Chain A
Amino acid sequence: MLCTMNFFILISCTNLDETVYSEVLKDNFYQNETEIISALAPAYAGLRQITGNMWEALSYCTDEALIPTRGKDWYDGGVYLRMHEHNWQAELGYFSGIWGYGFGRVNNANQLLFQLGQVEDKMDPTLYSKFVAELKIIRAFGYYNLLDNFGNVPIVEKFDVPQGFLPSNNQDFATGRNEVFNFTEKDLVENIDFLSGEKNQSTYGRFNKYAAFALMAKLYINAEEWTGTPRWDECIAACDSIIQSGKYQLETDYFANFLGKNENSTENIFVIPFSETRMDWALIWYWTSLHPSLVKKYNTTYGPWNGMCALPSHYNSFDSQDKRRNGWLTGLQYSSTGEVLKCVFESQPNPLNLTADFINIYNPSDPAVYDHTNALEYHGARFVKYEITRYPSWCMENDVVIYRLADILLLKAEALMRKSGGVANQEAVDLVNQVRSRAFDDAVSQEYNTSTLTLDALLQERGWELYFECVRRNDLVRYGKFVRGTWEFFDRSSEQDFRNVFPLPQDQINSNPNLVQNPGY
């Protein structure tokens, strides 16, 4: 009787299939090239996350930038202090972020490689091989970052693994790091030829050959530090492939590379594009660094949060004539209509006068110690190297520069010097001077010669040229100056070498028993 009644009301009384409305089932996707290209987008979109945890962690532990505790703000359980003091532990969320960034790229690529393999027949063969090559380079980019930050990580090149599969890293740190290095190198070498050699709109924001060569140069310059075997010639060759292509030239204006509309830079080799109208919370350096009153200087929609600034020693190390220093904002600040801006926190209502040094300018007799644990709201030079446009949303408009020619020139110079025991030849000097000279009106007096260009000088020059471009930690490690670093505000002299790499994040260790923690942690 029940069934009879039900029969009238329902055709099928046990069907529990789900109907999906606002998403697409996998089996209904990858049907044509447009859809396949759309599926490729997340592999590139994921690259944008580099400006989050990665960039912050890799910058605040160096001699160029920090977030000091300011009044009640920015203590945040001491994370920034721990990075500055090199007093981190595996539980620190930053490491999950860096791991997630690296393996996110690896996984994105693996998933799409698997997916593309299934629809190869629906694609144009040239496009297919180009996509596969790009994905493998993106995977290499992920592994490069993992190699740099953690060293010994699992190598995973498949997406369709059995349920419960847990990857493992090598029991021995050095062997494991070597394996990861070799895998990264192999992906690069095997795929670079399939990439586009064009430098135009079609390759903007994507890995063309030259972007891959830049990644290769980065890998080889660090080979000695990471594997014990120097690869200077390979580094030089990779740099030359870019330099000799003639497709990239230094901009005469250093800041042209960092404009809101920096698409036309002739110098940038690989950028990650951002859009102030298409994104939210993607690129927020303006908010992290600037003082809230500056909203009236730049007329942005949302006011910034007054955090990150330059270390005083970094700012003070610049030659006062060095134009590149203008990427750090200091001095008395005015609104766009010319009124003096004011402090709004503990120093209200004094005028907003940003000082590179952490001193109380409004009360010179103040005996208080100002440092990374206690800074006033106007302390520290603020980051304005990237042009500040109107920013209607919570995202900056500038495309973030990952590789540019200046870096490649300096890398080649470094490789040449290291090859000859740290001594500069004229070729190296010329390469460095090429970069340095555009920063000065009186360039000649600023130039290096073979005796003034030491490795220490080159490291400093890299700091002035490439500050806050997420290369500093990597450079300091390679120059042996990351641990026991002597910059203010903390005594790191008893630091041990194991901190040259970060610990594997504790949440990964917890959820995967096959992972071996890095030595020392």
Chain B
Amino acid sequence: MEDISVKEVLDEIEKISDYRFFYNNNLIDLNRTVTVVADSNNVHEILNDLFANSEVTYRTLENNLIVITPKSILQQKKVTGTVTNAGTGEPLQGVNILVEGSLKGVISDANGKYSIDLENQNAMLVFSYVGFLTEKVTVSDRSIIDVKLSEDILSLGEVVVVGYGTQKRKELTSAVSSVRKDDFNKGPIANSPLQLIQGRVPGLGISRANGGDPNAEIQMQIRGVSTVRGNLSPLVVIDGVPGGNLNTVAAEDIESIDVLRDGSASAIYGTRGSNGVVIVTTRRGKIGAPAVEYSGYLYYEKYNNKVEVLNAEEWRNLKTEFANSSNSILRNKAESMIDYGGNTDWFKAISQNKLSQVHNLSISGANQKTNYYAALNFRDNKGLIKRSFNNIMNYRLTLSHSILDDKLVIDFNISNTFRKSRPSNYGAYTSAMLANPTFPIYNPDGTFHEEVDIGGSNLVASIYEYENDQQRSENLIITKATLNATKALKVSILGGFQRYNDIVGTYSYRYTSLGTVMPGRTGSAGRTTQQSIDRTLETTITYDKLIGDSHRMNIVGGYSYQDFEYEGFGASNRDFISDAFTYNNLNAGKALADGTYLANDVWSTKRSSKLIAFFARAIYSYKDKYMFTAGLRREGSSKFGNDNKWGFFPAVTGGWRISEESFLSNNPVISDLKFRVGYGITGNQGVEEYISLERLSGGGIMLYEGKWIDGYRPSSNPNPNLRWEKKSETNIGVDLGMFDNRLILNLDLYDRRTTDLLYQYTVPVPPNLYNTIWTNVGEISNKGIEVDIHLVPFHKNNFKWNSDFNISYNRNKLISLSNDFYKTKFQDLEDLGAPGLGNVNAYRLEEGQPIGNMYGYGFAGFTADGGWLFWDSNNENKVTASEAQYSDKRVIGNGLPKYWIGFTNNFIFRNFDATVVIRGAFGFDILNVKRLFYENRKLIPSNILKSGLSSPVIDDPQFSDYYVEKGDYLKLDYVTVGYTIPLKIKYISNARIYFATNNLLILTGYKGQDPELEINGLTPGFDRKENSGRDNLIDYPSTRTFSLGCSIKF
């Protein structure tokens, strides 16, 4: 059609199609003549041509109505469309559609449809969906925008949380690992949210040393032991608050956990970055309709490997065998083995088999102005030892609101945890090993059986005759205001308030099985209460700008203030007339009134410290090809000497994305290749307060003029020169993506060196008043390699398989413990204690050696009559225990794992999904303390390990490499199978059920129960969980759990 008027064109369209037009004749130049080449049936194309250079435009409404208006009038514009999976064509529900540069956004519905009102047709829509590549679409004239999102198999566009900001993974220049909610380990999370990433992060060792005890902490370690006495755990940052307490966060409420592994990344956290930084981000609402989610699981825990001791029958057989022996010592033993006629499995007697449960309910949502997330979490964890439990109720509210045209955003983040618990009676577990299996638990009349004459106390009774009620409440309150001054400049201020307080009550009954034997005591009660408050204030200015197309600048500067306050109070009393009060009426005890109180019966204490820092960091990147970061933090801690309070923590990194270079940009195999290098200095201030000051404290009473007066004496050798422990670290890394990033390999090499080690050194007396002083002397080196491989072996519509494999190697060396003033060549640690090995140390911390060396005799055999033989220092002669000299001792093992591996596989087949986590540690030794003490018939009439029956040892226990075993293990852990129920119910958008197990299988040559042991501290690989003094071997069984859970989204 040539030279016809616009009106005529419109009329023609109305004739041949269902479209109808509305327009105002006065406003539109309908008489303009145009030439239309109608080679298309698409009305929109014709109209686009028609109005291309005019002042008017059009908008398509329902029922094919098209409104034609001047462009100036069309301010409000509605855009609709459908979002589908580019690979499968299926609609995608829950896609976030945001107007770039604003908070305005919607979410796609179950059919992938969305609808959004725009104020500006120049707007750009951002389509983002977890696991998919984000698409940006310019709206311009269009009112229907259908978008196909491609799956981002292993996301490079993923945003990673780094200190005081975020960075895209492809821009990262240091070693940072990030695990998101969907990838967390499933299964019961009884101890700590960090179990969510156990085995997932290279270089991060996480150990549940106390099995499944719900009241025990877990241990974590990044890149080996880099300090000897400073704080050993990584810094935890929760929603921007450094030093956060993980107990305030329910595992279900966590969105992501990011781990800053190397010094260049963590230097921005200065004094506390030496052991790495773990950043926890909690969940927030998503734009769209409110979402309500329930998730919960039940779990059941059982012994994994029980300690095998003699049962009643074996005990009786042994007694008979001994009685008939020609050896008089054994015949005497037989006499001392009293058969009480019972048949008791003490482990069973002290254990409970109870279901534990966890429930989490959350609501969340967001619109253009407001974002909210609220959740209630309830955990009822039962321990394996009778009466032990841990009840946790946590609630969380996150609220964010923007005002002043989105210029100011206010955030509230409040969480409260109430915990009620009764700790496991560890002593009972140890005693169960040693108790006579023929001793009955109950008398025929139902009372506890006791043999008062010979001190036969009853284990089960000891659990019921002691109360230990602990209550704790923990809060974290974060308030944050962010001012978006300009598009590039942002100023924010964050206030954090973290608190815990607890109250504990203990009571030993008047006639406990212990009390019956020891008549002096009639009831003993105690109460303690503690409170700890941390306050944080952080202000930051961020400037983020893309200059031209290629220069990106991100500059952040800030100030940080934190103070920490702890106070506590406790009182106890004894000699009660009745058990009725337990610990609720201390005044009713007689001991305090009688004056037979002890020094510690009433106490109170308080301490505080402060950290203040100024920091700045600049990130520059050129076309995502060359990246450069420089940062520094100047931080001061009140704990150090007056002239040494402030430390300086710089970091520099550089990165080169070679894959952006022209010669690699179209490579069919390599999709991404980045080389990065970084250097940073971090600190450690994890020592007690006041060490630098000359203080006096109460101690040492004296009889003065016939009355006892309290003495005051110097609290310690003061060290006014106490300063930071400093760690410098070089990190070199390569990130390689291949085959469209279906294979990603991250490789990191590090060399970290800690100097000015904080340590309690042994100093000569005189001139020192006491024989130890806290000071900075030695040096430790840790070198290692970390490899992280992400692989997608299969990625088809109904079968997907993702695989993550990581391995890390660490070599540790204590370079020195001396300087001009302080000389320590070595120090012996870990007194093995009673029975029989008091004053015998099992470990040696020695210059030039790695941390964790076990130090003792080399086993050389047995004498003809079963005595010990050891090698002398030349390894030439065999000597008996009494001939052996200190110089015959040598390094007989090392308890620090050299290799850690983690191997995670995720499978999705139609509606089924499965996850298997395999993890392990290699290259270390374990001192099997149970064998050392209990695999020895000399211990009889205490019970012994079953393996003791065949052991040649009937002698005083001797510490040698006879009891040092290889600790290498591989665990099949966190095995989960889930099924998403294909519901077509209006009110339920998603429902999934799953079955999970923990600690399912342990492959190890270790003869003990579980080779997963303490990793922190100076005596790793010591298979006794806690050494609480000479007569107490404290221990907890290794456990396995089975859980059944579901999650429902409404």
Q: Do A and B actually bind?
A: yes
Bound: A409/B636 CA distance, A: 65
- The answer on a CB contact under 8 Å between B558 and A2 is yes
- The answer on a CB contact under 8 Å between A107 and B645 is no
Question: A78-92: which residues lie under 8 A (CB-CB) from chain B?
Answer: 78-79, 81, 85, 87, 89, 91
Q: Contacts A9-B537, A393-B598 hold; do A25 and B645 have CB atoms under 8 A apart?
A: no
In the bound complex, residues from chain A placing their C-beta under 8 Å from that of B608 are 18-19, 21
Q: Residue B353 at the A interface, CB < 8 A?
A: no
Question: B790-845: which residues lie under 8 A (CB-CB) from chain A?
Answer: 820-826, 832, 834-840
Q: Contacts A38-B711, A204-B706, A348-B941 hold; do A302 and B605 have CB atoms under 8 A apart?
A: no
Bound: A391/B396 CA distance, A: 52
Cβ contact of A77, chosen from B332, B692, B839, cutoff 8 A:
B839
In the bound complex, residues from chain A placing their C-beta under 8 Å from that of B824 are 510-511
Bound: A111/B609 CA distance, A: 29
Stretch at the interface among A42-50, A325-333, A481-489: A42-50
Stretch at the interface among A288-296, A445-453, A492-500: A288-296
In the bound complex, residues from chain A placing their C-beta under 8 Å from that of B604 are 22
Q: Residue A321 at the B interface, CB < 8 A?
A: no
Cβ contact of A301, chosen from B520, B638, B825, cutoff 8 A:
B520
In the bound complex, residues from chain B placing their C-beta under 8 Å from that of A444 are none
Bound: A427/B824 CA distance, A: 56
In the bound complex, residues from chain B placing their C-beta under 8 Å from that of A104 are 765
Closest B residue by C-beta to A69 = B956
In the bound complex, residues from chain A placing their C-beta under 8 Å from that of B942 are 72
Cβ contact of A17, chosen from B455, B638, B709, cutoff 8 A:
B638
Closest A residue by C-beta to B715 = A23
Question: B660-715: which residues lie under 8 A (CB-CB) from chain A?
Answer: 689-690, 692-697, 699-706, 708-715
Bound: A103/B600 CA distance, A: 28
- The answer on a CB contact under 8 Å between A2 and B559 is yes
Query: What does the 1/0 interface line of A131-166 toward B look like (CB < 8 Å)?
Result: 000000000000000000000001010010101111
- The answer on a CB contact under 8 Å between B766 and A89 is no
Cβ contact of A167, chosen from B690, B764, B769, cutoff 8 A:
B764
Q: Chain A's nearest CB lies how many Å from the CB of B836? A: 4
- The answer on a CB contact under 8 Å between A37 and B709 is yes
In the bound complex, residues from chain B placing their C-beta under 8 Å from that of A6 are 539, 559
- The answer on a CB contact under 8 Å between B697 and A23 is yes
Q: Residue B768 at the A interface, CB < 8 A?
A: yes
Bound: A366/B332 CA distance, A: 9
- The answer on a CB contact under 8 Å between B702 and A76 is no
- The answer on a CB contact under 8 Å between B766 and A71 is no
In the bound complex, residues from chain B placing their C-beta under 8 Å from that of A75 are 835-837, 956-957
Bound: A292/B118 CA distance, A: 87
Q: Residue B517 at the A interface, CB < 8 A?
A: yes
- The answer on a CB contact under 8 Å between A73 and B765 is no
Bound: A396/B246 CA distance, A: 46
Query: What does the 1/0 interface line of A20-33 toward B look like (CB < 8 Å)?
Result: 11111111010000
In the bound complex, residues from chain B placing their C-beta under 8 Å from that of A284 are none
- The answer on a CB contact under 8 Å between B882 and A348 is no
Closest B residue by C-beta to A10 = B561
Bound: A366/B326 CA distance, A: 11
Question: A87-115: which residues lie under 8 A (CB-CB) from chain B?
Answer: 87, 89, 91, 93, 96, 99-100, 103-104, 106-108, 110-111
Question: B142-197: which residues lie under 8 A (CB-CB) from chain A?
Answer: none
Which interface residue of A22, A108, A368 has the most chain B CB atoms within 10 A?
A22
Cβ contact of A25, chosen from B693, B766, B840, B956, cutoff 8 A:
B693
- The answer on a CB contact under 8 Å between B712 and A38 is yes
Q: Chain B's nearest CB lies how many Å from the CB of A398? A: 13
Stretch at the interface among B55-63, B231-239, B417-425, B589-597: B589-597
Closest B residue by C-beta to A295 = B518
In the bound complex, residues from chain A placing their C-beta under 8 Å from that of B645 are 16
- The answer on a CB contact under 8 Å between A38 and B709 is yes
Bound: A103/B764 CA distance, A: 10
In the bound complex, residues from chain A placing their C-beta under 8 Å from that of B826 are 510
Stretch at the interface among A187-195, A216-224, A234-242, A337-345: A337-345
Q: Contacts A21-B607, A74-B836, A204-B703 hold; do A303 and B455 have CB atoms under 8 A apart?
A: yes
Q: Residue A422 at the B interface, CB < 8 A?
A: no
Q: Residue B305 at the A interface, CB < 8 A?
A: no
- The answer on a CB contact under 8 Å between B835 and A72 is yes
- The answer on a CB contact under 8 Å between B957 and A91 is no
- The answer on a CB contact under 8 Å between B328 and A37 is no
Stretch at the interface among A116-124, A245-253, A271-279, A312-320: A271-279
Q: Residue B75 at the A interface, CB < 8 A?
A: no
- The answer on a CB contact under 8 Å between A511 and B700 is no
Closest B residue by C-beta to A339 = B453
In the bound complex, residues from chain A placing their C-beta under 8 Å from that of B638 are 16-18
- The answer on a CB contact under 8 Å between B596 and A106 is no
- The answer on a CB contact under 8 Å between B332 and A37 is no
In the bound complex, residues from chain B placing their C-beta under 8 Å from that of A363 are 328, 331-332, 335
Q: Contacts A26-B694, A76-B838, A303-B518 hold; do A18 and B702 have CB atoms under 8 A apart?
A: no
Q: Contacts A24-B697, A40-B702, A343-B454 hold; do A508 and B690 have CB atoms under 8 A apart?
A: no
Question: A202-248: which residues lie under 8 A (CB-CB) from chain B?
Answer: 202, 204-206
Q: Residue B1048 at the A interface, CB < 8 A?
A: no
Q: Residue B767 at the A interface, CB < 8 A?
A: yes
Bound: A341/B956 CA distance, A: 27
Bound: A73/B335 CA distance, A: 18
Q: Chain B's nearest CB lies how many Å from the CB of A373? A: 8
In the bound complex, residues from chain B placing their C-beta under 8 Å from that of A280 are 598-600
Q: Residue B338 at the A interface, CB < 8 A?
A: yes
- The answer on a CB contact under 8 Å between A45 and B711 is yes
Q: Contacts A2-B558, A17-B638, A277-B598 hold; do A41 and B711 have CB atoms under 8 A apart?
A: yes
Q: Residue B762 at the A interface, CB < 8 A?
A: yes
In the bound complex, residues from chain B placing their C-beta under 8 Å from that of A442 are none
Q: Contacts A45-B701, A165-B767 hold; do A390 and B837 have CB atoms under 8 A apart?
A: no
Q: Contacts A301-B520, A349-B338 hold; do A76 and B837 have CB atoms under 8 A apart?
A: yes
Bound: A341/B537 CA distance, A: 67
Q: Residue A360 at the B interface, CB < 8 A?
A: yes
- The answer on a CB contact under 8 Å between A107 and B598 is no
- The answer on a CB contact under 8 Å between B332 and A89 is no
Q: Chain A's nearest CB lies how many Å from the CB of B178? A: 29
Q: Residue B302 at the A interface, CB < 8 A?
A: no
Bound: A307/B92 CA distance, A: 77
Q: Chain A's nearest CB lies how many Å from the CB of B437? A: 16
Which interface residue of B491, B712, B824, B938 has the most chain A CB atoms within 10 A?
B712
Bound: A343/B456 CA distance, A: 12
- The answer on a CB contact under 8 Å between A25 and B837 is no
Q: Residue A513 at the B interface, CB < 8 A?
A: yes
Cβ contact of B834, chosen from A22, A76, A164, A295, cutoff 8 A:
A76
Q: Residue A266 at the B interface, CB < 8 A?
A: no
Query: What does the 1/0 interface line of A345-380 toward B look like (CB < 8 Å)?
Result: 111110000000000101100111000010010000
A25-B695, A45-B711, A511-B764 known, 18 other contacts, Cβ within 8 Å: A13-B559, A18-B608, A21-B605, A37-B709, A41-B711, A78-B882, A91-B886, A107-B769, A164-B821, A165-B767, A166-B764, A277-B595, A278-B598, A301-B518, A366-B332, A510-B823, A512-B764, A515-B764
Pairs across A and B, CB under 8 Å, 30 listed: A1-B491, A1-B541, A2-B557, A14-B636, A18-B638, A18-B693, A26-B695, A27-B694, A42-B699, A44-B700, A44-B703, A44-B711, A72-B936, A72-B939, A72-B942, A78-B881, A78-B882, A89-B886, A107-B768, A154-B766, A164-B820, A202-B705, A273-B703, A275-B708, A279-B701, A302-B520, A349-B338, A508-B765, A510-B825, A510-B826
Q: Which residues of A contact B (CB under 8 A)?
A: 1-2, 5-6, 9-10, 13-27, 29, 35, 37-42, 44-46, 69, 71-79, 81, 85, 87, 89, 91, 93, 96, 99-100, 103-104, 106-108, 110-111, 154, 156, 159, 161, 163-167, 201-202, 204-206, 273, 275-280, 292-293, 295-296, 299-303, 341-349, 360, 362-363, 366-368, 373, 376, 390-393, 507-508, 510-513, 515
5 tightest A-B contacts by CB?
A41-B711, A45-B700, A301-B520, A77-B840, A41-B702
